Amino acid sequence: MNTFIIVFLLLLGAYFVAVLEVWISKGRFQLAAPLFAAIAFLGRESFIPRKPDQLFYEVGPVLLLLSAVLAAAVIPLTPDLIMTDLATGALFINAALVYVLVALLMAGWGPDGAYAMIGGWRFLGQLIAYAMLIVMPITAVVMRAESLLSTQIVISQAGLWNIVYQPLGFILFFIASMALAFLPPFDLMIAKGELASGVEAEYSGMRLAIFRLGRLVLIITLASANVIFYLGGWQGPELFGYSLPPWAWSAIKILAVTMVMLFAGHYMPRIREAHLLSWCWMFGIPLALINIFIVGVLLLEFP
């Protein structure tokens, strides 16, 4: 039962992200735009390259959608609404999100075309940059919670949200999640100006719809992960003894983080994965290690 509710909410969130993307790119707030776009996708002709690697060509977009939904399986929206409260929840999110890379590699190699293949390998370069920046801030968060259970991580932020306790970790995790979801300015692999849409170049029709849907669900999943690790999940301050129900706080926070993610990179130039690699490995990883050190010292000083 929980599974169906959460999948339905994920699709609702994906619809909202699609509306936001239309708002950013066209400047108008059209609530029905994703619906028309989905119907158009179903009706369009589906081009297939001449000699694709059939297995990879078909499996790529599906694996992207699957890994995004799997990563959302351990994210609690309210204290009871969680698909499965694994004892290693924080690590499982990371494990499921690595398969986004495998999906993009398959989608890049499958169509047997140069543009898609280079787009796929560019994402591998990005992964080497952002992978450590996802794992190390999660380590600092888990240090405070003293448990890998995601519900326990939210409960440990009852006194002070992690964004105030570990701001450095939040900035690094936010940037790394934007790079994982290949949002602008890290969207070298699917941008329209780069290699004729890179990985999306050879997909059309139903497969492109699933690819795009997988990407939208991935954005919502990453926003939820940001919220439960750093923004206190379903908890909110009380005002005159009244407080919103937990699901309302979760919804507001997730939608706010999504809006910041989408609007933040819109005006920045696209970052090449070579520059991202040097920035992350020269500045990002030392900062993440300093973050772990600072959190350790804080935890020992103020029990």
List of residues contacting another protein (CB under 8 A): 53, 55-56, 86-88, 91-92, 94-95, 98-99, 101-102, 105-106, 109, 112, 121, 124, 127-128, 131, 147-149
Residue closer to another protein (CB basis): 15 or 99: 99
Nearest to 11 by CA among 294, 233, 188, 220: 220
Give the shortest CB-88-to-another protein separation in angstroms.
Answer: 5
Residue closer to another protein (CB basis): 127 or 288: 127
Residue closer to another protein (CB basis): 55 or 158: 55
Nearest to 112 by CA among 199, 49, 191: 49
Residue closer to another protein (CB basis): 147 or 204: 147
CA distances from 249 to 6, 176, 219, 285, 302 (A): 16, 24, 19, 32, 28
Side-chain-side CA neighbours of residue 258 (13 Å): 26
Read off the tokens for 91. Answer: 């690590």
Residue closer to another protein (CB basis): 70 or 287: 70
Residue closer to another protein (CB basis): 33 or 62: 62
Give the shortest CB-254-to-another protein separation in angstroms.
Answer: 24
Give the shortest CB-54-to-another protein separation in angstroms.
Answer: 11
CA distances from 237 to 216, 229, 242 (A): 30, 17, 9
Give the shortest CB-38-to-another protein separation in angstroms.
Answer: 30
Give the shortest CB-71-to-another protein separation in angstroms.
Answer: 11
Helix segments in the chain, DSSP class H: 2-26, 33-43, 54-71, 89-109, 114-145, 150-155, 162-165, 167-180, 206-230, 246-264, 273-279, 285-301
What DSSP designation does 77 have? Answer: S
Give the shortest CB-78-to-another protein separation in angstroms.
Answer: 21
